Amino acid sequence: MNKQSNVYTVIYIIIMVVVVGVALAFTAMSLKDRQNDNVAADKMRQIISSLRLAPQQDVKAQFAQVITDQYLVNSQGERIDGDAFAVNIANEIKKPAAERQLPVYEAHLADGSLKYIIPVYGAGLWGPIWGYVALDDDASTIYGAFFNHEGETPGLGAEITKDAFSSQFQGKQMFKNGELLPVAVVKAGQAPTNGADYVDGISGGTITSKGVSAMLADCFAPYNAFLQSIRNK
């Protein structure tokens, strides 16, 4: 075949595309288990971080030691079947609150205290934001929080990942006079009109701050019955 012909060029390109495609597909499939393990380990680190603990190198062993129970509840506060760790919060948040599967993680710390960890997911300025909020055994007082993002602006919205922001939530109450009032994120010097506890938003990151506030309100609302059942014990 004439190597200078158009036919040869087209056949050569097709063969190269097929070979490269097969190689990439094989590589992706062979690394899938490792990628899934890395994703799971990162999720464990985030949950551990919400408990104000430093993730250890063997985070799976640490997670197994600290997280003593994990389960799903519905909007009526009832346990339902399913794997809490496997639930995709990004998908659940798209459903009506009454139809969501709601993961709960229970942790026992070294001092014997019990914490309830609730995952949250929402929207920032440039993409999704998410996190985990750990509550004391009164199901109202925030013990710790962890927040992350996909593409917020460095130095502005991305500051939600910093301890200076998340540490403000410690000790804040999610219930006021028996009513669920998730902690609000507001501009410094302001306060929410509904009497909820609040923290200062990020200077220059107004939209991301509002996103965190809306995320907490939206994600905690379906947990109201569950949290009330703990408070009533």
Is residue 25 in a domain?
A: no
SS3 category, 37: helix
Is residue 14 in a domain?
A: no
Domain count, the chain: 1
**Six token digits for residue 167:** 């540490």
For the stretch 130-155, pLDDT in tens is 999 999 999 999 999 999 998 888 88
Is residue 24 in a domain?
A: no
Q: What single letter denotes the amino acid at residue 60?
A: K
Residue 2 pLDDT exceeds 90: no
Residue 1 pLDDT exceeds 60: no
For the stretch 106-116, pLDDT in tens is 999 999 999 99
Nearest to 217 by CA among 185, 189, 193: 185
Give phi and psi for 38, each to the nearest 5. Answer: -65, -40
Instruction: Measure CA of the first residue to CA of the last residue in the chain; give whole Å.
Output: 83
Domain that holds residue 71: 47-231
Is residue 22 in a domain?
A: no
b/e map of 2-17 (b: 16 or more CB within 10 Å)? eeeeeeeeeeeeeeee
Quick one: how far is CA 91 from the chain centroid?
A: 12
For the stretch 70-105, pLDDT in tens is 999 999 999 999 999 999 999 999 999 999 999 999
Is residue 4 in a domain?
A: no
Is residue 117 in a domain?
A: yes
